Each structure stands twice: as structure tokens, then as C-alpha cells.
Structure 1
Amino acid sequence: MGRVLFTQKQDDFLFALSFHPSEPFFVKGFSDGTVTACSYDYKGEINNIWTTKRHKGSCRALTYDHEGKFVFSVGLDRVLKKANATDGIVKIKNSSTIDSDPACISVNDTYVAIGTDEGGVYIFNQSDLSLVKHFADVHNDNVAGLFPLPVKNEYTFISCGSTTVSNIDLRKDKPVSESEDQEDDILCGCLSNETTPVFGMSTGVVTVWNQVLEDQQHRIRLSKDSVDCLLPGELDDIVVAGCGDGVAYKVNTRSSLVLKKYNHGGDGVSILEMDYQYHLVTADMDSIKVWMTDEEEKKADKEEGKTTVTNTKRPIENNDSDWESMEEEEEEEEEKKKAEKQTRKKRKRGKASAKSKVHNSRPAISSFDGL
């Protein structure tokens, strides 16, 4: 189980969060439309750098650009704004293009993409926020997840929503491809490596796909509750899945194994982030938690004297009873390993049965009408 570095409680309902790509800063968006930028250290000292009433109604989504110079935010007022990350001053805004409530935001080096509650995707030029392309009705319901596919080109984004996933190329007039109906709400998505999309389902499963989005390659059962957010790990084929049970699961998507659990608690993990030093960040509407890296945990355990003692099973005296006891222990251990191996094989082969569980793709907002 992961260990927390520090926790920050929120006075208002947290709807959006983004950590700076190369420095110890983060920005938060709240249900009242306020956006706040903070600095922090790993002792838990957090200072507000700037705060502004950025949007009318809630701030629905925000993110830094890849260099951390600007913050893009979009609110219930359907206004997209680009602001300096250092002082929060708005450089430019687009207030006349988005025709439905925004649900999520994504950036690559050139474009800003917005997914809406009506299933549409808008793509803007980062420099002047001019509209480049609008795709209407990409999904039957709200766009739950949206992320670029940089290995292909700068024009491609993958979106998920309702029960389908789509491949969008802004040079085309409609999505390049769309998956078959999955008969399960798709609530989030990300890349586990350069070419492998993964998606979180309302039934607590992570599905692993190929790049052309033809169909699921395999499924990983994590929780009885929904998988509400996904984050690429530091290494290829590793993702972190935030679930409605309040736990974030670190998963190897190639082996289908859960590597680690982070018990955030609360009403479930609705936001996942990674800071510039690769610390995992989990959040819900009420709190933000920053977690130790694996190396920091090992160091902390060593300082607290929690060293792991390896049992060599070497007998104290070389007599028959000692050797027989050792052989029995080794046989028991071998049987345990065989049983674990069989369990893993069954887990890989088996498909979790779909449940008809309707779930809002943005749990942090679903309980508040008009936010």
C-alpha cells in the first residue's frame, strides 16, 4: 500500500486539477468558477500564488500546456481561456464557439481539444484559440475522456464516451473510426504506451485495445466500483486507475497484474495526476493527496527499521529432522507458486461479465445540478 507525502483539504468542491510538468506548482478549478495556482514542497507546505474568479458557474476542466507556460481552462459558461501560469492573467479567450457544456480538456504541442456533455469535440489552435475543427455527436452522451495520439501525428486524438471509443483526425470531416458498442459505459481513457489505448469501464474493468480501436485485446478486473479516471505511469505498459471504491490501482497492462494500491478514501478517486518528480497525485472533491515514490517508500521503511528479512530456510544443525522440515516448507512454497500461476492464467483468460450499471463519467460533478 502506498504512503502519503501530504494531504491538502479543500474548502470548496474541487472539479479540476493539473500539476506543472517541470516545477513544483499546480492549479485547481472549483465548483464556483474559481481557479487557484499553488506552490508546494514535499513537507506539505502549500502557498497560493494567485486566485481568480475565472468562470461563471463551475470550472469544468483545466490543464497546463506541455511547457508549463500557460493554463487553459474551460467552464460552465462555455468560455475557453488561456492564461499566464505565473500570474494568472488571461492572454486570450474564446467565448463564442462552444455550444454545449464542456466535460474535459486535452492538449498536445499545437492544439487544445474540448469534449462536451453533448458528445461533441472542439479543437482549437493553442496560439490564438481559434477554432480548427468541430466534430458533432462523436458519442451519444458526454465525452468522458480525450487524449492525443502523438506517435501517429499531431492531428490525432482519441475520445471515449457513452459506450464507444473514436479516433479523430482534425484534417477529416468525421471520425476516422469508431468502435462497436461495448454495452458498458466508458468513463475514461489514456495511453499505456505509445500505441496502446486503455479505457476505464463503469463495471470496474480496464480494457486494453490496439491503436486502430477495432476491439478490446484483453480486460483487467480491478474493482466492484467504476473506474473513473486513468493516468499513464512513468514506464511503458503501466497505468494508474482511480476507482469509485476510493482506491487507485497501479496496473501492468501487459501482464494484467495489480502492482500497488493507493488508498485515497473519500467518495472515490475522481482525479489522477503526476507531478514533475513522478509523485502520484490522487484527488476527490474534498482533498488532494501526493504520494511517495517507490524509492522514497523504501527509504522511509529503512529509516523506520522495517527491513525485509529473507528466510534462507537453512537448518541450524545438519540432521534428518531439520532437512525433512525444510523440504516440506519448500514443497508447500512450490505448491503456492503453482496455484498463483494458475490464478493469473485464469484471470487473463476470463472476461468479467458486463453489468448494466449506469454511471456518470464525471463523478465529481454528477451530484450537483447546474454545476
Structure 2
Amino acid sequence: MPDIPVGAQVFDLAFHPTESLVYTGLLTGDVAAFSYDEQGNHEEKFRLRPSKRSCRGLATSGDGSRLWAVGKSKALYTIDSTVGEVIETRKAAHDVAINRVQRLQTHLLATGDDDGVVKLWDPRKPDALRAYTHHFDFISDFLWLDDKKHLVCTSGDGTLSVIDVRAKKLEPFAQSEDQEDELLSVVAIKGGQKLVVGTQLGILSVFNRRRGYGDCVDRIPGHPHSIDALCAIPSHYPGAQSTVLTGSSDGLLRAVQILPTKLLGVIADHGEFPIERIAVDRAGEGRWVASVGHDEVLKMTDLKEVFEDEGDEDVEEADDDEEGEDGEVQEQEPSKDHSAGEGEPEEQSEADAVGAASSDDEGEVEERKRKRRKDKDPFQAAKKTKARNEMEAIDASFFADI
């Protein structure tokens, strides 16, 4: 799909849960809505300006009829998304600029500001239900765990906290130790049993809910810059339980498999502009992933082309390649001819070992096809002209010491 120009830097985006509509919150304070279709056509549906200050966060209701917007104005705006009009304004909802908003349940919202204050709201009531002050720096992201009714918050103060919205006390259910890095984004994997957190230093920190939230259980390096946004892929794709999309300040949108860890590919490129937010349509189960940054465009990438079409072609090509390689090995083994170079059998064995440990068939195929490529840092993708949705395979030895 062609990039959708929005006219200003985009701070946040939100999809309608059931329709082909996407909303963007802009630096100018505008909220712009666009429709799109499978052929790549798009149209601006409405544009309104609740405030002259920047719009930093958006969230939609369960049926998509309401849209909530927050930002530097410190207010919480309720927008009727069917007509594109502001129907309610809660002025001075926070004392400072609001950075994030998240719908938790039908009648429950959460907002987080630049001072680390988290507030819970009932859209039917004018005042906040509760306010939490255990963080002292900006709230960067929210994650809702519906099974326990827990709200996970990440903060620039280096800690992750968990709020039990059913409890009346104004203390968190749990809070991690200082991770000595700004925590910028969070997403759940493994059926919600593990949390992946993006950090300022480009490390993915993994928390295991069964072991508590005191500290992460694993740290995965590799990204050259901060990981500002994280998103899960639709559950019907193979490996969805352990695959995430990462938006980095180097402008690349990557697909990364966690435990075992490897880069599956770069699926979108914003050039030199950082990626602020990413989201998948149809409540996370759709076809399109949207990414936004400082380049004043909404980039829509077709996940079907990335995870299905190209994967099927690669499997067919790999089958042919593997048959030829097996034949070579069988001919060389009886004579033990090393004239072709001693390194090749070792590289083949290492690639097979990594492929066997992976549950992702596409990743295995990519490693075997590219096993003789010169070693390089796979996360630091070179700025070059690429085919549409080209996948870049990771070197088998990159994560050997993790």
C-alpha cells in the first residue's frame, strides 16, 4: 500500500476494531482518520483539532464508536468516531502532559503522564477513579492482561509495574527493580505468560510472569538503537506465540523471534526517521501493520505478503537447494575431499544445529539459503535499495553467546 501522507509528525495511531479505519494523533494537535482497502486505496474520512497542543495518545472503544485522545494539553477528549466530533472534554485530567491512554474494559480507561502518574477512568463519570504515583518519570507504554485484570506500565524511571485494577489500594500489585535503562515499550508473548520490554539501549528484556516481576529473566541485545515500539503479530501465523514486531529509532520495523532468538527480517523502512508506534489492524488479528514516525506518513505493510507469500516461495526454493546440497555431501564424504575448503562442512553443521533448535520453518530455510554470506550484524541493516518486503536472514552465529 502507498504511504498515506498525514501532513505532520505522528505520535500515535489506533485502528478501528472491526472496520478498515485508522486514526492518527499528530504533533499539530489534529486527529486524522483514514479508510483503506486491500487494493491499497485510502481516503481521509475526517480531521479535527481538539487542541492546539500535540496529540500524543489514542484509544478506541470496543465497538469503535468512541475514540479517546490525550496529549500535551493535559485534557482527555472523547470523540464520536462516526461523525468526527468531540463530544466531551475533561480539562486538567492530569497536572502535566499526558503521554499514553489505554482502554482496559468497557467502562475503564487508563492514562499515564510525564510525571509517572497513572489514572483510571470510567468514561461515564467526570472524575478519575484512582491515581497511582509510584513512578517518578514518564509513562511510556501500557499492556492489559485480561486474565488477571492487571495493567502493566513501563516508565522512563527504569521500572515496570503491575496494577491490579480490582484492588482499592493505591499501591501497585508488583514493581520491578531498577533496570538501569529507560523502559519504552511492552508486549506479551507465549500466550501472555512472558512480557518483552523494549529499552533505550536497544535491549529486549524478557519478564516471566510465573517468576514474578522483580527482575527480567533474559536480556536480548542486537538492536543498534532504542526500541520505541513493540507489537505482536496475528495469532494465525506460524510462530506467532514467540514473534514480535519491533520499531526502532533507526527507522526499521523488524520481525524478531524470541526464545530461540533470531531476526526474521526487516519488513518496513522509514529511512533515517525514528518509529514512534506500530499496530496491527482488526484488533491485532488483521492483515495490515501500520507504523508511524517523524517522516509525516502512515506506512501500511501487508503482513500476508511478508509471512505467507514469500514464505511459501522460499520453502519451494529451499527444497531444491537442500536436495542439491545433500547430494554434494554424499559424494564428498567417501573420499573425504577437502579441496573445496574445510570451513564449508562446519558452516553447514552449525546452520543445521540452529535450524533444528528453531520452531520457525521460514527462519530455518533462510539460514540454510544464506549460510555462506559474510558475517555481519543482522540488526544493523544496511541502508540500501530493497525489494518490497524483502526478508533479511540472520547469521547463525550472532546469538551463539546469548
- Tell me if both proteins adopt one fold, taking TM over 0.5 as the criterion: yes
Is 2:244 the partner of 1:239? yes
Deviations 1:136-189 (A, max 9, x none): 2x3221111112111212xx2111112111111232211122111111111111
Does 2:281 align with 1:275?
A: yes
Q: In the alignment, which of 199, 203, 206 is matched to residue 204 of structure 2?
A: 206
Contact 2:48 / 2:85 at 8 angstroms: preserved in 1? no
Asked if the contact 2:117–2:136 (Cα under 8 Å) also holds between the matched residues in 1, the reply is no
How much does 1:337 deviate?
A: 4.2
**Aligned equivalent of 1:290:** 300
Aligned twin of 1:112: 109
Measure how far apart 1:118 and its partner are: 0.5
In structure 2, the residue matched to 1:266 is 272
More helix by share: 2
Question: What TM-score results when the alignment is normalised by the length of structure 1?
Answer: 0.81
Q: Name 2:32's counterpart in structure 1.
A: 36
- Counterpart residue type for residue 99 of structure 1: D
Closer, same or farther: CA 229–299 of 1 in aligned 2, 3 Å: closer
1:356 paired residue number: none
Aligned to 2:258: 253
Contact 1:208 1:253 in 2 (8 A): no
Q: Does 1:147 align with 2:152?
A: no
Aligned counterpart for 2:152 among listed residues 150, 158, 177: 158
Supply the distance in 2 between the matched residues of 1:158 and 1:297 (Cα, whole angstroms): 29
Between the aligned partners of 1:348 and 1:126, the Cα distance in structure 2 is 50
| Secondary structure of 1:308's aligned partner | helix
Instruction: Sort the Cα spacing of 1:339 and 1:176 in 2 relative to 1 into closer, same or farther, 3 A.
Output: same
SS at match of 2:131: strand
Contact 1:209 1:218 in 2 (8 A): yes
Matching residue's letter, 1:179: S
Matched letter for residue 29 of structure 2:
G
Q: Decide which of 96, 106, 109 is 1:100's aligned counterpart.
A: 96
Q: What's 2:176 paired with? A: 179
Give the conservation status (yes or no) of the 8 Å contact 2:11–2:26. Answer: yes
Residue 346 of structure 1 deviates from its aligned partner by 7.8
Name the counterpart of 1:360: none
Deviations 1:40-86, CA, capped at 9 Å, x for gaps = 12333221111111123111111212332211111211111222221
In structure 1, distance between residues paired with 2:203 and 2:305: 29
**AA at the equivalent of 1:60:** R
Residue type of the alignment partner of 1:240: L
Q: Gaps spanning 5+ residues in structure 2: where?
A: 235-239, 355-394
Give 2:253's aligned amino acid: A
- Unmatched 5+ residue regions in structure 1? 351-371
Q: Report how far residue 119 of structure 1 moved.
A: 0.8
Separation in 2, partners of 1:315, 1:173: 64
- Letter of the aligned partner of 2:303 in structure 1? T
Q: Residue 283 of structure 1: SS of its match in structure 2? A: strand
Q: Indicate the SS of the match to 2:100.
A: strand
Looking at structure 2, the residues matched to 9 and 261 of structure 1 have their Cα atoms a distance apart, in angstroms, of 22
Size of the alignment, in residue pairs? 341
C-alpha distance in 2 between matches for 1:306 and 1:252? 18
Deviations 1:110-130 (A, max 9, x none): 311111000110111134454
- Residues 254, 278 of structure 1: alpha-carbon distance in 2 compared, 3 angstrom cutoff: farther
The 8 Å contact of residues 222 and 249 in structure 1, kept in 2 or not, is answered as no
Task: Give secondary structure in 2 for the equivalent of 1:159.
Answer: strand
- The offset of 1:306, in angstroms, is 12
1:47 alignment partner in structure 2: 43
Aligned-partner Cα distance in 1 for 2:93–2:332? 82
How many Å separate the matches in 2 of 1:86 and 1:328?
71
CA contact (8 A) 2:50 2:86 kept: no
Q: Tell me: CA distance 1:26–1:38, structure 2 relative to 1, closer, same or farther (3 Å).
A: same
Structure 1 window deviating more from structure 2 (338-347 vs 127-136): it is 338-347
CA–CA distance in 1 between the matches of 2:119 and 2:72?
A: 15
Residue 326 to residue 271, structure 1, CA distance change in 2 (3 Å): farther
Distance 2:33 2:122 in 1: 24
Task: Give the structure, 1 or 2, with the largest relative contact order (CA under 8 Å, sep 6 or more).
Answer: 1
Normalised by the size of structure 2, how large is the TM-score?
A: 0.75
Please state whether the residue corresponding to 1:197 is helix, strand or coil: strand
SS at match of 1:216: coil
